[in-house]
A and B are shown apart, each in its own frame.
Chain A
């Protein structure tokens, strides 16, 4: 087959909603786009452990601590599912780590914000995981098989994350005045960065069209953001918290909530590396990688030794 007919065959699979698998022919740009998206997604899960890890030792009860530990462990798991999905496209795990540690690869910029109070654990679960679920559910039907299967697993586990966050917010918002204030303050700080998680507006997102064509993405950034705003307004009402946006208003004609203007220069500034915690996050990952080197090496040496001993026994 010529490249042209390979391309035709591929387009045909995409049009018929057939899943693409690792050994199938795929255009270089499709492969590259997927590697970028899946590895960034994996990095986000791994970096995402850090802001919450900050509160494990200070969780207010044993129940909350067990839940937070389980959630952070899930995030490690999600990172691992996604890294191995990306590896099926021909990039090695070490190369992906290297891209993260050198700043060549990005991760979700929301994790560059600090977790100042316990209420942030509630706001992150409710809003950040809520936004992530909005993004991730359609990815369960994305065109690349290993990515879609990883996302099915991730989504199954993610809904507990959002519920436990909402439960923290609910408990705080029904608590003392100070607890209510903590909840509102966390909501205020995490609301706008959560909206930014869906990425730049469609008009400024040059890759969206191609990704939708390839069924890597199934909805645009703005569509998902709107959906998130619509459900969150209702949930905030249940919590009795005030929306941190004076421009939130039901629009009868559109059948959606209107909302205020997002500060995109803040977003681009954080993406560029100037958020409150960018440096700290990457340093923590690098440190873990460097200080874990002897463990990785020792495990390999141990495995080699054991293998050698087994073949000696066999030979004897």
Chain B
């Protein structure tokens, strides 16, 4: 269900917590599973529930509560642009508009070629580099002018 490498990573997370508290690793385990699979199918979550000794519903609850988990398949890349006030004061609305026009999609939509899913995000804690966006949850890009957005889109094949 998950690769040996992913399971090894999950085991490392479990080891951070006291005996009998495997559930604490669910946040990390879901992120690791998502990295491997691209999104969290019910079967993936059920597998993790079994692996961590949790009721499946408790895993679904966590996966649906936190914004960065993908509960449906999306594009090859996910771009999440912050439009919160500090970013908006530094051009996030324009940046988001530019992305929508270049990609021909709105928020929560995926390009026809399945390349990119566009999401609107909340504060990422990097407002000094506004406007900021995240690529696939893990790579933060700052000061996203039109030029830098164009470069990024060209890079994301």
* A, B in one complex: no
